[in-house]
Amino acid sequence: MGISLMYYLLVSGGLFALGLLGVLIRRNPLLLLLSVELMLNGANVALIGFSRHWNSTDGQVFALVVMVVAAAEVVIGLGLIVAVFRQRIALDVDGMDHLKG
């Protein structure tokens, strides 16, 4: 009576899909970053599931590296948001199109 790989992949797919939906819908860049974190967590769940399936540590190492990269990305993302905010621009990703050709 155990868990199989399929369940892990289902949860991972669900988290990734919800994160994808959040990235597509959200206008507030903070909420967008939260959705990106959801996608990264979905990927981590899949990695850990596979690592358990093949009985290998490599998947977990990969998941830890993903966590580190997520932390670094959040730091820079939030720094950018704060910098944009300080320039008195409204926090709306659809409105930040000044570089549009």
Residues 18-77 that bind another protein (CB under 8 A): 18-22, 24-28, 30-31, 33-35, 37-38, 41, 44-45, 48-49, 51-53, 55-58, 60-61, 63-65, 67-76
Minimum CB distance to another protein, residue 49 (Å):
6
Residue pair 25/93 in contact by the 8 Å Cβ criterion:
no
Alpha-carbon distance 78 to 8, whole Å? 30
Binding residues for another protein, rule CB under 8 A, total 72
Check residue 98 for interaction with another protein (CB under 8 A): no
Alpha-carbon distance 99 to 73, whole Å? 22
Residue pair 51/64 in contact by the 8 Å Cβ criterion:
no
Nearer to another protein, 73 or 101 (CB): 73
* Helix (H/G/I), strand (E/B), else coil: 100: coil
Minimum CB distance to another protein, residue 98 (Å):
15
Minimum CB distance to another protein, residue 90 (Å):
6
